[in-house]
Amino acid sequence: MHLHTLNQSPAQSQVYRQALAAMADDDCLLLIEEAVQGALPHLIGPFEGLAGRLYVLEEDLVARGLLERCDDNARVVDVEGFVSLTEQADKVLSWY
Amino acid sequence: MNVNKANEGMNDSNIAHTSITPPSATGELLVILGHAPHGSSLLREGLDMALVAAAFGRRVSLLFMGQGCWALQPGQGEGALGQKGTQSTLEMLEMYDIDNIMVEAESLERLGLESSDLVLSVSVVDAASVQQAIASHTLVMNF
Amino acid sequence: MRYGILLLGAPYSNQAAHSALRFARTIIARGHQLDSVFFYHEGVHNAARLAAPPQDEPHLVDGWAELQREHGVKLDVCIAAALRRGLMDEEQAGRHGKEGHSVERPFELTGLGQLVDLGLRCDRLVTFAP
């Protein structure tokens, strides 16, 4: 399994397309920084195919006041969960 | 040839010109270039990284995706103040034995670039080959 | 596990440096070894020794130095990316005929070869970018 991190909002940047193209079937995607917007119901569209493999960083949601608006299909993880994902992944790729 | 699933539902008029070649070699370092020349120095500094790795004897592959594909547009030059672009760096890749150079098909298509009209001879690869390239290199770095 | 971090974002301009420092502290707290943080692209500005943020903001430069002091994390700064952005240690300042210097230990100017080695040596290399 590879972990892919994305830090750009899908409402602002199309770099998520590259992350998705680069993801194998068992890879995980973690939304951080501005990309946490991608966990909102209105913006989660591009990531809908990632059931169970879409994660979002809690503290970046909280800082933006978005935690309560997060879609149920995104799994909220704290920074320990972020590190834990990098432990499980063979490689970590950053899309920005 | 069925190009890839990523092209489903897209106008495929340009696809006939692309050839899908799986990456030939595994390697130690895969550098993914996803930013355009001139607007930022990420592309240039990513290429510098690749050249240094190759100079140290590492087997290096390059993959152009998204905005990084603009690096392959012919006819680039310096900026108005003489700031360097990246075309001269690309011309040095061969000297550094960097010959596994890939570009993602869907990115080319989206930007209206033709694989027959690029500054380098590159393998046009689909999403599955991108994933395979990531898996088959020890280290992958995104610039 | 051995980790390396590549930081490409400037401090106080985007979130990358904050994210990277937070991640660095967490991997150490979980018992991993952080070999080195490599500063490249705009990330070299994290090594600016004269950084003086307001007291009620996190001090990123001090934060990195503390990682070195308390956990032996190497702080490697790409010399080519640093020099062109005005970041240099005393030795480079002398070489370039500049008065004063903007980088000091525990940050060390080094070449990109170190980044390649770091990536290949560590179990995980994690990049934080603008």
Look up the CATH number of the domain holding residue B127: 3.40.1260.10
Taking the C-alpha atoms of residue C30 and residue A35, their distance in angstroms, rounded to an integer, is: 25
Among C41, C116, C125, beta carbon nearest to B52: C116
**Chain C neighbors of A5, CB-CB under 8 A:** 126
Q: Which CATH class is domain A2-95?
A: alpha beta
For the sheet containing A54-57, what is the strand order? A75-77, A54-57, A28-31, A2-6, A91-95
* pLDDT averaged over every residue in chain C: 98
Diameter of chain C by CA atoms? Answer: 45
**What average pLDDT does the segment A29-34 reach?**
99
Among B45, B56, B141, beta carbon nearest to C113: B56
User: Can you give the pLDDT at residue A4?
Assistant: 99
Cβ-defined contact of B6 to A23 (cutoff 8 Å) = no
Catalytic site residue from C61, C78, C79, C82? C78
Query: Would residue C122 show up in a list of annotated catalytic residues for this protein?
Result: no
In the block, residue with structure tokens 């660095």: C24
Cβ-defined contact of A86 to C124 (cutoff 8 Å) = yes
Domain limits for position C44 = 2-128
DSSP letter (8 states) at residue C49: T
B 47-66 → C contacts, CB under 8 A: 48-49, 52-53, 56, 58
Domain limits for position B57 = 25-72+90-142
Neighbours of C118 (CB within 10 A): 22
**What average pLDDT does the segment A34-53 reach?**
97
In the block, residue with structure tokens 């032996």: C72
Per-position pLDDT tens, chain B of length 143: 344 434 433 444 444 344 454 444 567 999 999 999 999 999 999 999 999 999 999 999 999 999 999 999 999 999 999 999 999 999 999 999 999 999 999 999 999 999 999 999 999 999 999 999 999 999 999 99
Taking the C-alpha atoms of residue B63 and residue B107, their distance in angstroms, rounded to an integer, is: 11
DSSP B20-60: B------EEEEEEE-S-TTT-SHHHHHHHHHHHHHHTT--E
Count of structural domains within chain B = 1
Residue B114 lies in a domain: yes
State the angle between helix axes of A79-88 and C16-29 in degrees (0 to 180), rounded to the nearest 10: 70
C 32-71 → A contacts, CB under 8 A: 32
Count of structural domains within chain C = 1
Query: What is the distance in angstroms between the Cα of A45 and the nearest Cα belonging to chain C?
Result: 24
Query: What is the distance in angstroms between the Cα of B6 and the nearest Cα belonging to chain A?
Result: 7
* pLDDT averaged over every residue in chain A: 98
Percentage of chain C lying above the pLDDT 90 cut = 100
User: Can you give the pLDDT at residue B25?
Assistant: 53
Residue B20 lies in a domain: no
DSSP letter (8 states) at residue A90: S
Cβ-defined contact of C120 to B28 (cutoff 8 Å) = yes
Nearest one of A50, A53, A17 to B7, comparing CA atoms: A17
Nearest one of B47, B112, B50 to B86, comparing CA atoms: B47
CB of B102 within 8 A of CB of B62? Answer: yes
The distance from CA A32 to its chain's CA centroid, rounded to whole angstroms, is: 6
Ordered by start, the domain boundaries in chain A are 2-95
**Alpha-carbon torsion angle B18, B22, B26, B31, nearest 10:** 30
Look up the CATH number of the domain holding residue C9: 3.40.1260.10
User: Can you give the pLDDT at residue B27?
Assistant: 77
Facing residues of C6 across strands? Answer: C38, C127
Q: CA of B133: which chain A residue's CA is closest? A: A22
Taking the C-alpha atoms of residue C98 and residue C121, their distance in angstroms, rounded to an integer, is: 36
Measured CB to CB, residues of chain C less than 8 Å from chain B are 6, 8, 40-41, 80-81, 111-113, 115-116, 119-120, 125, 127, 129
**What average pLDDT does the segment C102-114 reach?**
98
Q: Which residues of C57-89 are buried (b: 16+ CB within 10 A; e: fewer)?
A: eeebbebbbebbeeeebbbbbbbebbbebebbb
ipTM: 0.97
